[in-house]
């Protein structure tokens, strides 16, 4: 147990050190593009949206929940990139030739990605607050938002790692990544509510776990506990199933890659 | 050499990737304290063998033990016993040399104090002390290799595995790496290395296994392997090459215990001997005794290249692109 903590601590700190050495990357990680979605998209579409349709005082307060979950999506899907580089240059093999627990490298990556994701979600909520969007459920609501983010993020990071372990080249990795993320966003309730979508898109969006995450985060920000609670219960069940499937897949990919 | 105790025992080891056999029933052992080389062209199965020994790949069949620990049943034990220096410069370019070693110190579960002490010692050993606090991206190829080796030494291993230790290095760096490897052997570390450089195997290894298409084609010390080809050859040409003379000379040479075989050529004779140093004297005496005027003498000692060609039926190429072995 002592050993396990020592190795996971050291591996997690390695990710932190890497990020802090890449000054630009760190800057762009904190001031991430998702922020621009909130600021520009949110304000730009203010007059083009019908408040009756979005059922929110303004578009930016409606969009906040979507941007929070989009942040989780982007972070999660990119979460395996560093492992991909480690695999390609042989560093992963070096790590795996030491007497560490098989899961330590992966676990350290989850801890790191989830921490960064939570920090970014807080930045998003902070910026949203500057535009007058304050979560209706207060600090406890924010804690629940972070919990949902982590639950969704774990599954996404697992998918990203599974891809990192299975792809032949990192070109493949990035093209799959680029292909996945936009439809995930448009086929969810991030930009418009489910009810306002064309029927066929609605159906597809229902199979997108992102929709469920957004629909739980949104009332936490916009309305309050009475509307939020049943959705939270629902999203937790869905996310646990989603995570279980993703973790199973990534464990298999990892086993295959590491013999 | 104190070759009594066995460090690594491999028997019937196999690895099949999607129906393609990469390693085909390998059996050999490595003695404590020796430098053992796996020599072969790329794709011969050397790296695959090495990766099974260090528990990164699961064997399809057969078994291997490292210091008595089974690679399949006790992988954690094996990993705690060995050091590994991968083929690629497997470094994190953003971490400094010291940070690499500190990270590995935690992965080998060393107490902080002990890790620091060892890191200082190893950095001095590989002459990296001055650059230890610069990020690895500023290192030259030779320095990266040194850091690689330093990482392999951190666990204070009884056995160090090196995968192509000097691949792509310039001549000076190669010689320096060879020097380190010899120093490690002097410290009592058993070394297993793969290489596709014949001179490296010849200069450095106590024993080598020549591997081709996943099988061992020959195994022994470089001098044994060379001797196995039939020893050195002496070519003597005689001034007036008369047939009678040559026949007489060759019959006389065949009587000598040092001589293995004699072939007559148009100008003289080709003599296969155990070793040219030991036989030259008697061969010359015989020539004198028979009154043969020698025109020229040449001797050729078989090189590892000859051994390689003899056992695999082809020459090893020195430089070629590195495809993935899997």
Distance, in Å, from the CA atom of B46 to the CA atom of A191, rounded to the nearest integer, reads 55
Distance, in Å, from the CA atom of B39 to the CA atom of B45, rounded to the nearest integer, reads 10
Instruction: Judge: B104–A259 Cβ closer than 8 Å, yes or no.
Output: no
For A49, how many CA atoms within 13 A lie in the half-sphere containing its CB? 23
Choose among B103, B83, B98, B185: nearest CA to B133: B98
Contact A147, A94 (CB under 8 A): no
Query: Residue A120 falls within a domain, yes or no?
Result: yes
Instruction: Judge: B90–A94 Cβ closer than 8 Å, yes or no.
Output: yes
Give pLDDT, residue B250: 85
- Three-state SS string over B26-95 comes to EEEEEECCCEEEEECCCCCCHHHHHHHHCCCCCCCEEEEEECCEECCCCHHHHHHHEEEECCCCCCCCCC
A22 versus B39: the higher-pLDDT residue is B39
Give just the sign of the alpha carbon dihedral B7, B178, B153, B144.
Answer: negative
* Among A223-232, B153-162, B192-201, B285-294, the least confident range: B285-294
* Confidence band, pLDDT 50/70/90 cuts, at residue A38: confident
Tokens of A182: 């936009």
* Confidence band, pLDDT 50/70/90 cuts, at residue B226: confident
Q: How far is C-alpha B241 from the chain's CA centre?
A: 44
Q: What is the pLDDT of residues A161-213, one digit of tens each?
A: 999 999 888 888 888 888 888 899 999 999 889 888 999 999 999 999 999 99
For range A95-109, the mean pLDDT = 92
For range B166-186, the mean pLDDT = 87
For range A10-16, the mean pLDDT = 95
Give pLDDT, residue B320: 44
Q: How far is CA A160 from CA A30, A72, A181, in A?
A: 20, 13, 12
For range B228-254, the mean pLDDT = 80
Burial-class residue B134 by CB neighbours within 10 Å (0-12, 13-18, 19+). middle
Minimum distance, in Å, between the CA of residue B49 and any CA atom of chain A: 13
* Shortest CA distance from B93: residue in chain A: A18
For range B102-124, the mean pLDDT = 93
Distance, in Å, from the CA atom of B139 to the CA atom of B132, rounded to the nearest integer, reads 10
Contact B284, B259 (CB under 8 A): no
Q: What is the mean pLDDT of chain A?
A: 89
For range B213-228, the mean pLDDT = 87
Give pLDDT, residue B30: 95
pTM of the model as a whole:
0.82
The share of chain A scoring above pLDDT 90, in percent, equals: 58
Give pLDDT, residue B326: 35
Return phi, psi of residue B271, to 5°.
Answer: -120, 130
Minimum distance, in Å, between the CA of residue A95 and any CA atom of chain B: 8
ipTM value greater than 0.90:
no
Give pLDDT, residue B154: 92
Contact B17, A257 (CB under 8 A): no
Instruction: Judge: A98–B104 Cβ closer than 8 Å, yes or no.
Output: yes
B119 versus A47: the higher-pLDDT residue is B119
Give pLDDT, residue B16: 92
Distance, in Å, from the CA atom of A169 to the CA atom of B312, rounded to the nearest integer, reads 34
List of chain B residues whose C-beta atoms are within 8 Å of the C-beta of residue A6? 106, 109
Distance, in Å, from the CA atom of B43 to the CA atom of B213, rounded to the nearest integer, reads 7
For range A131-141, the mean pLDDT = 91
Tokens of A114: 């989830």
* Among A116-120, A148-152, A244-248, B42-46, the least confident range: B42-46
For range B178-206, the mean pLDDT = 91
Q: Report domain extents, chain B.
A: 6-226, 230-301
Distance, in Å, from the CA atom of A117 to the CA atom of A1, rounded to the nearest integer, reads 27
* Confidence band, pLDDT 50/70/90 cuts, at residue A30: low
Q: What is the pLDDT of residues B140-149, one digit of tens each?
A: 888 898 899 8
Give Cβ neighbours of residue B106 (< 8 Å, ≥ 6 apart): A6, A7, A9, A10, B115
Choose among B20, B39, B28: nearest CA to B315: B39
| The CATH classification of domain B6-226, taken from the options 3.10.420.10, 3.40.50.2300, 3.40.220.10, 3.40.50.300 | 3.40.50.300
The pLDDT of residue B322 is above 60: no
In chain A the first and final C-alpha atoms are separated, in Å, by 25
- Structural domain including A151 reads 2-11+44-257
Instruction: Judge: A7–B109 Cβ closer than 8 Å, yes or no.
Output: yes
Give pLDDT, residue A4: 92
Tokens of B131: 């650059």
What are the DSSP calls for A16-84, one per residue?
HHHHHH-HHHHHHHHS-HHHHIIIIIHHHTTTTS-HHHHTSSSHHHHHHHHHHHHHHHHHHHHTTHHHH
Tokens of B203: 């200069």
Domain count, chain A: 1
Q: What is the mean pLDDT of chain B?
A: 86
Q: How far is CA B66 from CA A213, A244, B14, B105, in A?
A: 50, 37, 16, 22
B51 in contact with A at a CB cutoff of 8 Å? yes
Minimum distance, in Å, between the CA of residue B91 and any CA atom of chain A: 6
B107 in contact with A at a CB cutoff of 8 Å? yes
Give pLDDT, residue B290: 83
* Among A61-70, A137-146, B181-190, B230-239, the least confident range: B230-239
| Residue recorded with tokens 């690594």 | B8
- Among candidates B76, B107, B135 on the partner chain, residue whose Cβ is nearest the Cβ of A7: B107
B315 versus B160: the higher-pLDDT residue is B160
* Confidence band, pLDDT 50/70/90 cuts, at residue A104: very high
Choose among B24, B36, B29, B18: nearest CA to B195: B36
Q: What is the pLDDT of residues B258-315, one digit of tens each?
A: 887 787 877 788 887 877 777 888 888 888 888 888 888 888 777 787 788 778 776 6
* Shortest CA distance from A97: residue in chain B: B79
Contact B156, B118 (CB under 8 A): yes
A218 versus B127: the higher-pLDDT residue is A218
The share of chain B scoring above pLDDT 70, in percent, equals: 94
Distance, in Å, from the CA atom of B209 to the CA atom of B216, rounded to the nearest integer, reads 6
Strands (E), B155-313: 159-163, 190-195, 207-212, 215-220, 232-238, 259-264, 268-273, 294-300
Minimum distance, in Å, between the CA of residue A53 and any CA atom of chain B: 49
Interface with A, mutate which of B17, B103, B162 (most A CBs under 10 A):
B103
User: SS3 of B17, please?
Assistant: strand
Tokens of A162: 């599974």
Return phi, psi of residue B27, to 5°.
Answer: -135, 130
* Topology of the domain covering B230-301: Alpha-Beta Plaits (3.30.70)
Give pLDDT, residue A126: 92
Instruction: Judge: B107–A90 Cβ closer than 8 Å, yes or no.
Output: no
Rg over alpha carbons for chain A, rounded to the nearest Å, is: 19
Give pLDDT, residue A98: 92
Most confident segment among A12-26, A89-103, A141-155? A141-155
Give pLDDT, residue B323: 43
Instruction: Judge: B80–A99 Cβ closer than 8 Å, yes or no.
Output: yes
């Amino acid at each position: 147990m002592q050993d396990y903590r020592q190795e996971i601590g050291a591996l997690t700190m390695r990710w932190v050190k890497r990020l802090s050495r890449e000054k630009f990357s760190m800057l762009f990680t904190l001031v991430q593009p998702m922020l621009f979605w909130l600021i520009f998209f949110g304000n730009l579409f203010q007059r083009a949206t019908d408040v009756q349709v979005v059922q929110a005082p303004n578009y930016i307060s409606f969009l906040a929940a979507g941007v929070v979950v989009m942040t989780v999506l982007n972070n999660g899907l990119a979460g395996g990139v560093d492992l991909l580089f480690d695999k390609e240059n042989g560093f992963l093999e070096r790590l795996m030739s030491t007497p560490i627990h098989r899961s330590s490298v992966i676990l350290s990556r989850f801890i790191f990605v989830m921490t960064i994701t939570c920090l970014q979600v807080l930045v998003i909520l902070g910026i949203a607050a500057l535009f007058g969007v304050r979560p209706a459920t207060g600090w406890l609501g924010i804690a629940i938002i972070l919990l949902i983010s982590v639950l969704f993020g774990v599954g996404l990071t697992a998918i990203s790692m599974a891809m990192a372990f299975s792809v032949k080249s990192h070109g493949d990795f990035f093209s799959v990544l680029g292909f996945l993320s936009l439809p995930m966003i448009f086929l969810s309730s991030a930009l418009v509510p489910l009810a306002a979508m064309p029927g066929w898109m609605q159906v597809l969006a229902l199979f997108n776990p992102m929709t469920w995450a957004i629909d739980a985060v949104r009332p936490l920000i916009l309305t309050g506990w009475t509307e939020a609670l049943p959705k939270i219960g629902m999203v937790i069940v869905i996310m646990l199933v989603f995570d279980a499937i993703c973790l199973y897949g990534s464990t298999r990919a990892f086993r295959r890659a590491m013999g | 050499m104190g070759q009594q105790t066995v460090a690594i025992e491999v028997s019937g080891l196999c690895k099949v990737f999607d129906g393609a056999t990469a390693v085909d029933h390998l059996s050999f052992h490595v003695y404590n304290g020796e430098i053992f080389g796996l020599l072969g062209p790329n794709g011969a199965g050397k790296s695959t063998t090495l990766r099974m020994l260090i528990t990164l790949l699961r064997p399809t069949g057969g078994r291997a033990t490292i210091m008595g620990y089974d690679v399949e049943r006790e992988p954690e034990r094996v990993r705690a016993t060995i050091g590994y220096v991968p083929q690629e410069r497997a470094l994190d370019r953003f971490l400094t040399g010291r940070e690499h070693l500190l990270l590995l110190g935690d992965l080998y579960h060393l107490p902080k104090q002990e890790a620091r002490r060892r890191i200082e010692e190893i950095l001095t050993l590989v002459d990296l002390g001055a650059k230890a606090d610069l990020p690895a991206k500023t290192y030259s190829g030779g320095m990266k290799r040194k850091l690689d080796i330093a990482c392999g030494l951190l666990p204070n291993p009884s056995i160090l595995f090196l995968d192509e230790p000097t691949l792509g290095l310039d001549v000076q760096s190669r010689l320096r790496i060879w020097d380190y490897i010899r120093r490690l052997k002097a410290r009592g570390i058993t070394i297993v290395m793969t290489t596709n450089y014949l001179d490296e195997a010849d200069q450095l290894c106590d024993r080598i296994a020549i591997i081709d298409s996943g099988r061992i084609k020959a195994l022994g010390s470089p001098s044994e392997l060379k001797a196995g080809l039939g020893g050195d050859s002496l070519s003597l040409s005689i001034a007036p090459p008369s047939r009678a003379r040559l026949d007489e000379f060759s019959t006389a040479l065949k009587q000598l215990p040092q001589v293995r075989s004699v072939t007559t050529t148009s100008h003289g004779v080709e003599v296969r001997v155990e070793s040219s140093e030991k036989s030259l004297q008697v061969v010359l005496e015989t020539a004198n005794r028979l009154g043969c005027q020698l025109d020229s003498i040449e001797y050729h000692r078989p090189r590892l290249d000859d051994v390689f060609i003899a056992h695999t039926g082809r020459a090893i190429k020195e430089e070629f692109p590195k495809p993935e072995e899997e």
